[in-house]
């Protein structure tokens, strides 16, 4: 089966679309570009699906490469047969290919290899044939002082070691046993020391079927094992597996047959089961990792796509005890206006002085929002802020924002280049303020895995995690688009087709020549060639351009078609500026979408995208989402009572539930069983990061800082 056919079957799409996606990827097109500007070629698949297809294609190509390597190696040994060739062609996963290659793979010194060196292969073959041969008499012919075979027993043991390795190397047996174990075995964890208390106590005597072991529990067991608190293994009745082996290999009940049966038992316990156990546990961990990475990616996407709080001068507070609370005032575009350090936790006098400083900054710059980091001293800073804004006539609201990664960013070269005049502690306060104003533009400056919206992220394969999260950031940036004249190098480097070096060249060109006045001016940027221009132009906006299409997501390659559409429907480019295109879609529908698309030379999907962009030029898709929950008051965990109903913001979605910020500094947990009255497969089916939800308090443990919530009515 060729790759396009296989991908079409797996992803339930037309083979033509699969072939087109493969061709577009091979031509060097980016996933955001393919998803947005080549819809007719793939049937309007989204960027996530195309990314999954790209990953699957890479796996299939690696599989083919390994298949060819193994085939070549076996042929070099002169061992290739039609049966092996067919098995290699049918192998659907890498482990199957490795099992086929196992008998021919160079091995380290083993009991079987030692026996072969002693010349016992012939005896092993004779016993394995299971004729009426008397194995003990036959063994006499192999006794040799020179070769180190002292007696019959040693000769037969060597022959059985060879047979055991033959059994272990049998690809069909391994395939069948893996299937049996996957379906019937249990994953079992026990305490290394039952007397030692730890966070893994729930796994001190735990067992669940391998076939439906939960990902988060697999990762917890793995971590507990690494840290020495748990012993983890796979348990299955050995007879289930031995029956399979014996049916295939034990052909008689004579003396030779009994030796083969004993060799099978040895092969299973000593060679096959430990190897298969490692492999299946590795599979389980890999699947759990993938599940956790996908969940991290979903949470990151929702966090990055949080609606910006636009139009406010914002004050960022980076809480602290000993070193004080760092304050930064930024204007609605994120420009730093002022900074200060206050000490609200250093006694009554300092608290009063801090209030005066904060009030003065609010009044002087007419600040409308305060963003408070959720780190050390966050609760005290929040209480102080509520007191302060309660004493003002001006209307000011606040929000506690995650400061994950802020300290990493503030100490980075990027932050130093952006704010060379500020101390790194003040840069954190600036970052916290900007996170409220435009989460996407600020969070792209931080390594995605440092943002902290997953589970067990430090246990994940870091390369795979980075690839997945970088893909999410790229998709989000290109969904929103970037202002060519204000975007930071960090944001520009995430735009389709723009490398880190080219992003710096864009900023350098901007600083040297002034603001870009058109998209076409991008072609003058050093190292930004025709292919890069094609990939990035549609995602970059130029509000200062005379051509209103430069401030939309309409790609320059479609400008001519956009002009034809406007003319066809009785409009001009000037109508884009004036916002007078509300009736564009109705007029196009009156003509007929298919007919209109044909007349302007595009497909219907591109026509619909074009209509959406021309009707709302420069629109931000995040504006259509519910706004963030801003607060003006605060609760203490001691104020919470069972039955109390509150509004909160979902901060993290994990396999067993979701953590919700209800304004008491400590996030509450809504367990998966408390999310809906209906049975749900996963919390992410119902909730996403940033959702505003109504919850009710189930229980509170103030001492341990645990809050249990429900979303059931």
Give the dihedral sign, CA 510/30/602/481. Answer: negative
Kindly give, in sequence order, each residue whose CB lies less than 8 Å from that of residue 503, ignoring residues fewer than 6 positions away.
489, 490, 492, 493, 495
Q: Could you give the CA distance from residue 254 to residue 132 in angstroms, rounded to a whole number? A: 7
Q: Is the pLDDT of residue 311 over 90?
A: no
Return the closest-CA partner of residue 480 out of 306, 329, 267.
306
Of all residues in the chain, the percent with pLDDT exceeding 90 is 72
| 473 and 564 together in one domain | no
| 119 and 170 together in one domain | yes
Structure tokens at 297: 């990616």
Q: Is the pLDDT of residue 688 over 70?
A: yes
* Cα atoms in the Cβ-side hemisphere of radius 13 Å centred on 27: 14
**Is 246 part of a structural domain of the chain?**
yes
Structure tokens at 261: 């049966």
Q: Could you give the CA distance from residue 398 to residue 628 in angstroms, rounded to a whole number? A: 10
According to the model, what pLDDT value does residue 475 have? 94
| 345 and 467 together in one domain | yes
104 within 8 A of 77, measured Cβ to Cβ: yes
Give the C-alpha distances (Å, rounded to integers) separating 477 from 304, 394, 443, 458: 9, 35, 11, 25
Q: Could you give the CA distance from residue 359 to residue 346 in angstroms, rounded to a whole number? A: 18
pLDDT digits (tens, 9 = 90+) for 4-25: 999 999 999 999 999 999 999 9
Banded pLDDT at 61 (limits 50, 70, 90): very high
pLDDT digits (tens, 9 = 90+) for 500-548: 999 999 999 999 999 999 999 999 999 999 999 999 999 999 988 999 9
| 122 and 245 together in one domain | yes
**Is 36 part of a structural domain of the chain?**
yes
Note the residue count of the chain.
Answer: 713
According to the model, what pLDDT value does residue 179 have? 95
Q: Could you give the CA distance from residue 393 to residue 448 in angstroms, rounded to a whole number? A: 40
Average pLDDT over residues 223-248: 95
Q: Is the pLDDT of residue 105 over 80?
A: yes
Q: Where are the beta strands (DSSP E) in 181-313?
A: 186-191, 205-209, 230-235
Lowest-confidence region among 130-144, 146-160, 309-323, 408-422: 408-422
According to the model, what pLDDT value does residue 689 have? 87
Kind of pairing, strands 645-654 and 540-541? unpaired
CATH number of the CATH domain containing 660: 2.40.50.140
Question: What is the three-class DSSP state of 415?
Answer: helix
Average pLDDT over residues 311-339: 93
pLDDT mean across residues, the chain: 92
According to the model, what pLDDT value does residue 417 have? 86
Kindly give, in sequence order, each residue whose CB lies less than 8 Å from that of residue 547, ignoring residues fewer than 6 positions away.
518, 519, 559, 573
| 36 and 96 together in one domain | yes
Q: Could you give the CA distance from residue 308 to residue 334 in angstroms, rounded to a whole number? A: 12
Q: Is the pLDDT of residue 639 over 70?
A: yes
Q: Model-level pTM greater than 0.75? A: yes
Banded pLDDT at 153 (limits 50, 70, 90): very high
Cα 428 → chain centroid: 26
Banded pLDDT at 634 (limits 50, 70, 90): low
pLDDT digits (tens, 9 = 90+) for 587-621: 999 999 999 999 999 999 999 999 999 998 878 88
Domain that holds residue 607: 511-624
| 388 and 426 together in one domain | yes
| 341 and 450 together in one domain | yes
Task: Domain count for the chain, please give it.
Answer: 5
Give the dihedral sign, CA 281/282/287/293. Answer: positive
| 556 and 679 together in one domain | no
CA angle 96-102-103, nearest 5°?
Answer: 130
Report the 10 Å Cβ neighbour count for 686: 18
Banded pLDDT at 454 (limits 50, 70, 90): low
Give the dihedral sign, CA 522/528/533/535. Answer: negative
The tokens 């009572």 sit on which residue? 641
Structure tokens at 699: 């229980």
**Is 212 part of a structural domain of the chain?**
no
| 32 and 89 together in one domain | yes
Average pLDDT over residues 647-667: 86
According to the model, what pLDDT value does residue 435 have? 92
H or E segment at 282?
Answer: helix 273-304
CATH number of the CATH domain containing 159: 1.10.3500.10
Q: Is the pLDDT of residue 333 over 70?
A: yes
Banded pLDDT at 662 (limits 50, 70, 90): confident
**Is 495 part of a structural domain of the chain?**
no
| 139 and 172 together in one domain | yes
**Is 194 part of a structural domain of the chain?**
no
CATH number of the CATH domain containing 65: 1.10.10.650
**Is 485 part of a structural domain of the chain?**
no
Banded pLDDT at 414 (limits 50, 70, 90): confident
Kindly give, in sequence order, each residue whose CB lies less than 8 Å from that of residue 586, ignoring residues fewer than 6 positions away.
none
82 within 8 A of 59, measured Cβ to Cβ: no
Average pLDDT over residues 143-163: 94
According to the model, what pLDDT value does residue 703 have? 80
| 50 and 131 together in one domain | no
């Amino acid at each position: 089966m060729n790759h396009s056919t296989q991908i079409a079957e797996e992803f339930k799409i037309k083979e033509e679309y699969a072939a087109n996606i493969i061709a577009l990827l091979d031509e060097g097109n980016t996933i955001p570009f393919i998803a947005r500007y080549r819809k007719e070629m793939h049937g309007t698949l989204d960027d996530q699906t195309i990314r999954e297809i790209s990953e699957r294609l890479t796996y299939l190509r690696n599989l083919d490469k390994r298949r060819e390597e193994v085939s070549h190696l076996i042929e070099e040994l002169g061992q290739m047969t039609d049966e092996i060739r067919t098995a290699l062609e049918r192998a659907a996963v890498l482990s199957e290919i490795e099992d086929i290659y196992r008998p021919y793979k160079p091995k380290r010194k083993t009991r079987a290899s030692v026996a072969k060196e002693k010349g016992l292969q012939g005896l092993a073959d004779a016993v394995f044939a299971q004729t009426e041969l008397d194995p003990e008499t036959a063994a006499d012919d192999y006794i040799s002082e020179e070769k180190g075979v002292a007696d019959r027993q040693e000769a037969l043991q060597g022959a059985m070691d060879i047979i055991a390795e033959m059994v272990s190397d049998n690809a069909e047996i391994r395939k069948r046993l893996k299937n049996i174990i996957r379906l019937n075995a249990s994953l079992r964890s026990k305490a290394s020391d039952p007397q030692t208390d730890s966070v893994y106590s729930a796994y001190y005597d735990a067992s669940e079927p391998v076939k439906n072991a939960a990902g988060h529990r697999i990762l917890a067991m793995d971590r507990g094992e690494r840290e020495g608190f748990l012993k983890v293994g796979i348990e299955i009745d050995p007879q289930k597996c031995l029956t399979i082996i014996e049916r295939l290999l034990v052909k008689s009940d004579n003396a030779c047959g009994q030796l083969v049966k004993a060799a099978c038992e040895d092969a299973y316990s000593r060679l096959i089961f430990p190897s298969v156990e490692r492999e299946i546990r590795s599979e389980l961990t890999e699947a759990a990792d993938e599940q956790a990475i996908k969940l991290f990616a979903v949470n990151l996407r929702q966090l990055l796509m949080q609606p910006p709080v636009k139009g406010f001068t914002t004050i960022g507070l980076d809480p602290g005890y000993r070193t004080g609370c760092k304050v930064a005032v930024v204007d609605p575009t994120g420009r730093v206006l002022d900074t200060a350090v206050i000490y609200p936790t250093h006694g009554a006098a300092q608290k009063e002085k801090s209030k005066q400083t904060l009030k003065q900054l609010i009044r002087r710059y007419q600040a409308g929002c305060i963003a408070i980091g959720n780190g050390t001293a966050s609760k005290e800073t929040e209480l102080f802020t509520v007191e302060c804004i309660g004493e003002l006539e001006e209307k000011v609201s606040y929000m506690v924002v995650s400061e994950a990664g802020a300290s990493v960013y503030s100490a980075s070269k990027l932050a130093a280049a952006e704010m060379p005049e500020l101390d790194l502690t003040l840069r954190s306060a600036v970052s916290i303020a900007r996170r409220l104003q435009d989460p996407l533009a600020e969070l792209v400056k931080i390594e995605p895995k440092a943002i902290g919206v997953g589970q067990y992220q430090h246990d994940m394969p870091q390369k795979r995690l980075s690839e997945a999260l970088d893909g999410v950031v790229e998709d989000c940036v290109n969904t929103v688009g970037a202002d060519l004249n204000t975007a930071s190098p960090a944001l520009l480097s995430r735009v389709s087709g723009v490398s880190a070096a080219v992003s710096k060249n864009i900023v350098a060109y901007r600083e040297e020549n002034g603001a870009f006045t058109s998209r076409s001016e991008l072609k003058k940027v050093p190292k930004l060639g025709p292919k890069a221009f094609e990939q990035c132009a549609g995602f970059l906006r130029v509000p200062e351009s005379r051509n209103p299409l430069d401030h939309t997501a309409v790609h320059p390659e479609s400008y001519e078609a956009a002009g034809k559409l406007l003319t066809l429907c009785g409009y001009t480019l000037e109508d884009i500026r004036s916002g007078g295109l509300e009736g564009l879609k109705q007029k196009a529908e009156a003509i007929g979408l298919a007919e209109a698309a044909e007349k302007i030379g595009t497909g219907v999907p591109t026509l619909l995208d074009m209509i959406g962009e021309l009707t709302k030029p420069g629109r931000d898709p995040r504006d259509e989402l519910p706004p963030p929950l801003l607060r003006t008051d605060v609760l203490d965990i001691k104020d919470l009572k069972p039955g109390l109903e509150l509004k909160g913001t979902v901060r993290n979605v994990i396999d067993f539930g979701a953590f919700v910020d209800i304004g008491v500094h400590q996030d509450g947990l809504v367990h998966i069983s408390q999310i809906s009255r209906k049975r749900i497969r996963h919390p992410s089916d119902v909730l996403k990061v940033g959702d505003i939800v109504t919850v009710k308090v189930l229980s509170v443990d103030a001492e341990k800082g645990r809050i249990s919530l429900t979303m059931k009515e």
